[in-house]
Amino acid sequence: MPLSGRWFVETMDGARVEMGPGDLSFGGDQNTRPDAHGRRGHRSGTVGSEPAVLMLVQMERGRPE
């Protein structure tokens, strides 16, 4: 979650979203399609000249019951 500034997340298949303070994102790379080189996942960076200050929360993957 951005606390200040703006940032983007772009999946390897080209989908991109930009977020600002208070926007929430779940970064599980769910349903991403590989690019032409077979890469999956995402890349991210700052939008504009103001640094993006982010709060990250990592969660343990759920265990099957």
Residue 49 lies in a domain: yes
Quick check: 13 and 32 in contact, CB under 8 A? yes
Residue 46 lies in a domain: yes
The rounded percent of the chain whose pLDDT value lies above 90 is 29
Q: Pick from 52, 39, 49: which is nearest to 10 by CA? A: 39
pLDDT score for 51: 94
pLDDT score for 36: 78
Residue 32 lies in a domain: yes
Cα Rg of the chain (Å, integer): 14
The residue behind tokens 């303070």 is 21
Q: Which domain holds residue 47?
A: 2-54
Residue 7 lies in a domain: yes
Pairwise CA distance, residues 25 & 32, whole Å: 15
Q: With a cut of 70, list the residues of the chain below it in pLDDT.
A: 27-32, 64-65
